[in-house]
Structure 1
Amino acid sequence: MNTVETEEFAPEWLAAREGVDALARSHGPLPVLAEHHRVVADLGCGTGSLGRWTAARAPGVERWLLFDRDPRLLALAADRVPGRVETRLVELARLRAADLTGVTLVAASALLDLLTAEEVRAVTDAVASTGCPAWFTLSVAGRVALTPEDPLDGAVTAAFNAHQRRAQRLGPDAIDATIDAFARRGYRATTFPSPWRLGPDHPEVTGMWLRGWAGAAAEQAPDLPVADYLRRRLAALEQGRLTAVVHHDDLLLMPPEPGDRP
């Protein structure tokens, strides 16, 4: 695992991004999910930010099942998610229907773009076997809009997107791949835009995002003059001139109605 990937899951980064995540997530799915969120499985739960966000906006969850492959993050989440909480240490490629017994909603935040096609298939099969809805928030869409523009914006974005697809991860292809996988099981999909809006109002997380985003691009395309690009962008941020819209999508997947066929 390289440095960029390690930092992606660092508690410090997860804590820094929680505020912009909270502002970005769409409220659109909440009325539908209110009928289904009695027992929620949070896949790749991190420090439990989705549980905290949901508790403040959709009360009524009786129990959280928190899944992650990192025992350190599971311990943090168990202490920080309100209500009754259980934890599961699991690799998502090995997720099975039995792991979701009693679950009425499967959820995740900032997860899909990190998965491989094999992991998406495992998640789809497990969820579809339960017949419950799935709600995946904040998946990267592969589009970034920075103001003011820079001639290298497009090349850095392309290099970052290619980096996201390394090690067979789906990256910005994840939403479409997940919709297709669930459609084969008869699920109906609705997407909701959930963009990060970064800039002088969030200087710490904007700077951390810039460094991580540019760092991944530099790993992928070492011939790009990313160091100079990053210096220009950080200088503009310090001067209060830089804003960035980092596009994400939320995805709601509803199971087939009785009588429907996949």
Structure 2
Amino acid sequence: MSDEVARADADWLALREPADAAARSTELVEALRPHLPTDGLVIHDLGCGTGSMARWLAPQLPGNQRWIGYERDEDLLNRAAAAPPPVSLDGLTVTTETRLRDITHLPTEDLDGASLITASALLDMMTREELERMVASIAAAGCPALITLSVIGQVDLAPAHPLDDQIAVAFNAHQRRDTGHGPLAGPDAVYVAAHALRLAGYTLHLTPSPWRLDSSDTALLKAWLKGWVDAACEQDPSLRADASEYRGRRIQQIGSRELTAMIHHRELLALP
């Protein structure tokens, strides 16, 4: 995973955390619980960022929990350590530790004894080869995996604009660009991971988990729109001539509370 795509901005992660929490599937958590041990959990969170996955999931799982967060960005790890999850579902202790690692080259022994492996908003930043290596590590651990908020390349904006589809196509191409380590899996990532996990003998549950953004999400909408349009223009410079007017119109619609956006994701629960 190149530095270009692997380092997430902490402010962006903080801005999106409430939308992530609202989108993640509690139904998959219900399906997961019967497959977890009852005498304490060891949960490995790959690409943990600032720890939002642990803060969301730990209170929904029972028993003592030990969370181990993996990240290649030391600043993000420090932020995760400074804001640990609360107690478990039944009020028991949740402890955390962090490990500075490149998860695309994770030694199998790092995951020994795992009760659960999690990841969130991660897969699209990996190549197919990196995804397959990660799946091999999960399969070697032999435990369930809960992978949330994988983008699938579909965005629905209302009101519609003639440039929406062109920007979406260019953005998705940007998500699949070659960063020097091979093309990124991008919007195909969750399906690449699902195929590899199925071949490894896992039973899979896939479910939608869209962001639904409206006038109550003004700051997130503006930040998401900027990133979406900028990436599209980087991929297809011919869009730049019209993108400035497009962005201005969309920002105006956000300000007047007209614009809504549904950014589609998929959640994946894999059970051995």
Which of 215, 235, 242 is equivalent to 1:220?
A: 235
Map of 1:128-147 to 2, 5 A cutoff? 128-147=139-158
Distance 1:60 1:123 in 2: 27
Residue 98 (str. 1) matches residue 97 (str. 2): no
Change (3 A) 1:2 1:240: farther
**1:260 alignment counterpart:** none
Distance 1:60 1:24 in 2: 25
User: How many Å apart are 1:141 and its aligned residue?
Assistant: 1.1
Residue 248 (str. 1) matches residue 265 (str. 2): yes
User: How many Å apart are 1:2 and its aligned residue?
Assistant: 8.8
Distance 1:140 1:227 in 2: 25
Residue 196 (str. 1) matches residue 211 (str. 2): yes
Return the TM-score normalized by structure 2. Answer: 0.89
User: How many Å apart are 1:28 and its aligned residue?
Assistant: 1.3
Which of 208, 218, 224 is equivalent to 1:209?
A: 224
Distance 1:63 1:33 in 2: 17
**Equivalenced residues, count:** 253
Return the TM-score normalized by structure 1. Answer: 0.92
SS in 2 for 1:81: coil
**1:174 alignment counterpart:** 189
Structure 2, unpaired ranges of 5+: 86-93
Distance 2:222 2:63 in 1: 36
SS in 2 for 1:149: coil
CA RMSD of aligned residues (A): 1.6
Is the CA contact (8 Å cut-off) linking 2:32 and 2:269 kept in structure 1? no
Residue 65 (str. 1) matches residue 68 (str. 2): yes
**1:259 alignment counterpart:** none
Distance 1:203 1:138 in 2: 20
Map of 1:39-188 to 2, 5 A cutoff? 39-82=42-85, 83-166=94-177, 167=179, 168-188=183-203
User: How many Å apart are 1:227 and its aligned residue?
Assistant: 1.6
User: How many Å apart are 1:61 and its aligned residue?
Assistant: 5.0
Structure 1, unpaired ranges of 5+: 256-262
Distance 1:218 1:183 in 2: 36
Q: Which structure 1 residue ranges, 4+ long, deviate > 4 Å from structure 2?
A: none
